[in-house]
């Protein structure tokens, strides 16, 4: 599955910046922002404020990965428990 990098402009803390991410990460960001009832700019601003190192694109990728990994853990545990019965 090939997912080319897509560059988009976004306003973060009142400043316009460009962020390059694969389409799957943009889709993940949209889903997360909708679930949190916030704009994409607000979510990226939150990620930017909390990142400790690295560039913004990397921080976003790590955030999205961590978000969906955390959501998948309970489902995996349920699957593991039912498989062991």
Give the CATH number, domain containing residue 76.
1.10.3990.20
pTM for this predicted structure: 0.80
> Cβ(50)–Cβ(34) under 8 Å?
no
CA–CA gap between residue 16 and residue 9 (Å, rounded): 7
Q: Count of domains in the chain?
A: 1
Express the helix, strand and coil content of the chain in percent, nearest 5 each: 60, 20, 20
Residue 53 binned pLDDT confidence (cut-offs 50, 70, 90): confident
> Residue 63: its pLDDT value, please?
96
Higher pLDDT, 37 or 84: 37
- For strand 5-12 and strand 15-22, is the pairing parallel, antiparallel, or unpaired? antiparallel
Q: Is the pLDDT of residue 80 over 70?
A: no
Domain that holds residue 65: 5-84
Residue 73 binned pLDDT confidence (cut-offs 50, 70, 90): confident
């Amino acid at each position: 599955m090939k997912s080319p990098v897509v560059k988009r402009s976004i306003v973060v803390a009142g400043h316009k910046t460009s962020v390059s991410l694969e389409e799957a990460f943009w889709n993940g960001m949209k889903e997360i922002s909708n679930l949190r009832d916030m704009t994409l700019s607000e979510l990226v601003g939150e990620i930017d404020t909390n990142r400790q190192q690295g560039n913004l694109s990397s921080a976003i990728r790590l955030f999205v990965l961590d978000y969906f990994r955390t959501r998948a853990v309970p489902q995996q545990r349920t699957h593991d428990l039912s498989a062991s019965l």
